[in-house]
Amino acid sequence: MDPMEAIKQTYFQECDELLLAMEEGLIAMESGEADSETINAVFRAVHSIKGGGGAFGFEILVGFSHVFETAMDLVRSGKLDPTPDVVKVLLRAGDKLSDHVTAARNGGSDAVDDAEVKAELAKLTGEDPEDAGAPAPADFEGLAFAPVMIDIGDEEPAAPPCPIWHVRFAPHAGLYAKANEPYLLIRELGMLGPIEVTADLSKLPDLSALEPDQAYFAWNVALKDCPDRTKVEEVFEFVSGDCDLEITEEKVEAAAPAAFAISAPGLPSLDDDDEPAAAPVAEAQPEEKKAAAPAAAQAAPTTVDLIKQTIRVDLDKVDRLVNLVGELVITQAMLSQRILDSVQQGQTVSAGLGELEHLLRELQEAVMAIRTQPVKSVFQRMPRLVRETAAQTGKEVRLEIEGETTEVDKTVIERLGEPLTHMIRNAVDHGLETPAERVAAGKPAEGTVKLSAEHRGGRIIIEVADDGRGINRSKVREKAIERGLISPNANLSDEEIDNLIFLPGFSTAATVSNISGRGVGLDVVRRNIMDLGGRITIGSANGKGSKFSLTLPLTLAVLDGMIVAVGEQTFVLPLSHIIESLLPKSADVKAFGSNGMLLNVRGVYVPLVSVGRLLRVPGAKYDLANSVVILVESEGVGRMALAVDAIVGQRQVVIKSFESNIGHIDGIAAATILGDGRVALILDIDGLVAGCREGTGGRPTEYQQALGA
């Protein structure tokens, strides 16, 4: 990849993080948490996006972010009160800034209509909407050879004679990485008294050798009419660890002149409304009071913050590491099997194998931790989606988010965006009533959509709930019959009617809009969730709302399982679903219906199913009373007893997906390789139980295909 293109990709990765930080801060401001740190965080995010965009020549992005930054600067300086109306404009500006970043990433092919938001920002800042935007980049021809002289300030010299403070200021690269600005620091010195500034460009290399993440400039500042050295030191207090700083005193008898201007041979002049555009020189901003010290300096990370640095790891490298650990686990399992086959060797090395297994588990957990991320990165995209959908539908909606720090595999995170987008839109568009309808029903005009995540039983549960009208089952049934999806005489339960909305082509919308009506949405949700080895269930109450629950695996690489034998085959049951195993008595097994069986488990009857009969496994036992029974529990469906021939043992297995070659199979989640080299299928407990409840009994033909029969 071209080096500049690689740097650009890094910039856009940082933009994604900065946009999330900005969104988080704006949402906090919307909820009334407009403290200085929150405001500074939003300002820094916008400012950093703007600075990087300028380095790559994204003029439209820079122009919009400049107007946004100006408004945030007024908020942080206390000149603009962050009222709900102001924050609403800032939220819209954040949405547009995200659009501009996307457009820049796509090469500028997507035009962003930001005129209305720009006008609202200009109204907040008092600027003319026609003039709102960042200044044009300066011409840098001859920059490497031209000494720069900067004079700032127009204050009167102090009456008594004062020393001249000579300040040598040489920033490190880390200073720029934290969004600090040398110009702001120099301007702060100018507020202490008249200054003369000379830019030292002696370390600036040729353009071909210039590294954009390094610092080459230094400044020599002569400060006059400031009697207190402490005030000079305070200017650099928050960046002292990120620069070389020397302050020397020169005794004088007369006050220094107070004439100030900015000049540089070969460079344009720099006044209060212009900004240097070449990195790493920082931008100049409109004058503000001394009390509003540079936010970048005020909010600079402490020593503790610097310790908690993060790194980016190429996902391919992480995947390679995960695969190696998986193969290591398989090798250990095969070694264990071979040694246990030999009693003599098993007695001499079994202790070492136990230690090896312990170390492998620790290694596996450490590696998997690299892949886990909080769902916050996905959840924080939803507030904007809710705002846009609410505006399009004319509804008032409040989004509540819980459990955003819940961690899950990165692959799951990346594939959650589309399903959640469809579900949130569905909740706002179909679930919630209009304000008038809600008031008439005795509800608040503002509807609520709740998005939550939690760990439960070795899996992650993500729920999207609303307090709207609930599913109109009669309308759903009518639409399904109209579209030929079910027979008019079909006898369906409430749960079965609810699940009709997942069928391809199904929609209850009266007209097609840019939100819904084409029958494409929830079927995509179910398909994507099933591809991840998860399930989706619905709960709905008329007039009270609906709740969609996604049950997903925490990882797609390794799981703890119970190995069971069924006829000539071996299966793996995920431990997270298993409650207990038992040997039932004949008296505890009862017939139910035409071919169903029930098992009495301490006074509670649960459905009893033979895995061998369900999947038509050759050589399986069909005598349920003489089988080993494993009691399992699934999300949204309940408990069931699965009868198998024998329990082989418990171990950690590596998940091998075969959906890309075979496709989805009801009741089968994936496959794994056992210690003896055989392939075993991992059972999908949720799908298996749901299939039994629905009377489908799995898909024996596809199961046989998976086994290669």
**Is residue 506 over pLDDT 80?**
no
> Which among 322, 354, 317, 324 has a CA at the least distance from the CA of 339?
354
Mean pLDDT of 101-119: 86
| pLDDT at res. 152 | 43
Measured CA to CA, the distance from residue 645 to residue 628 in angstroms comes to 6
* CA 236 to chain CA mean position, Å: 35
**Is residue 461 over pLDDT 60?**
yes
| pLDDT at res. 278 | 37
**Is residue 439 over pLDDT 90?**
yes
Q: Which amino acid is at 435?
A: P
| pLDDT at res. 558 | 77
Q: Whose structure tokens read 């300040």?
A: 167
For residue range 149-204, what is the model confidence (pLDDT) as tens digits?
444 444 444 446 788 889 999 999 888 887 778 888 888 888 888 888 898 888 88
| pLDDT at res. 395 | 92
**Is residue 460 over pLDDT 50?**
yes
CA-angle at 699, arms to 697 and 701, nearest 5°: 135
| Between 510 and 673, the higher pLDDT residue | 673
Q: Please, which pLDDT band fits residue 280 given cuts at 50, 70 and 90?
A: very low
Measured CA to CA, the distance from residue 274 to residue 152 in angstroms comes to 14
**Is residue 263 over pLDDT 60?**
no
**Is residue 500 over pLDDT 80?**
yes
Q: Please, which pLDDT band fits residue 451 given cuts at 50, 70 and 90?
A: very high
For β-strands 638-644 and 604-610, DSSP reports them as parallel
* Highest mean pLDDT of the ranges 230-244, 265-279, 338-352: 230-244
Lowest mean pLDDT among 394-408, 515-529, 689-703: 689-703
Q: Name the average pLDDT for the chain.
A: 76
| pLDDT at res. 77 | 87
Measured CA to CA, the distance from residue 351 to residue 663 in angstroms comes to 42
Report the C-alpha dihedral over residues 495, 497, 499, 504, rounded to 10 degrees: 170
Lowest mean pLDDT among 3-7, 443-447, 534-538: 3-7
| pLDDT at res. 701 | 40
> Which among 261, 284, 265 has a CA at the least distance from the CA of 274?
284
**Is residue 447 over pLDDT 50?**
yes
| pLDDT at res. 537 | 85
> Which among 409, 407, 400, 454 has a CA at the least distance from the CA of 427?
400
Measured CA to CA, the distance from residue 368 to residue 409 in angstroms comes to 8
Q: Which amino acid is at 47?
A: H
**Residue 10, H or E segment:** helix 3-30
Lowest mean pLDDT among 219-228, 251-260, 646-655, 682-691: 251-260
| Between 324 and 469, the higher pLDDT residue | 469
Q: Do residues 577 and 636 lie in contact, with contact meaning Cβ atoms separated by under 8 Å?
A: no
DSSP 491: -
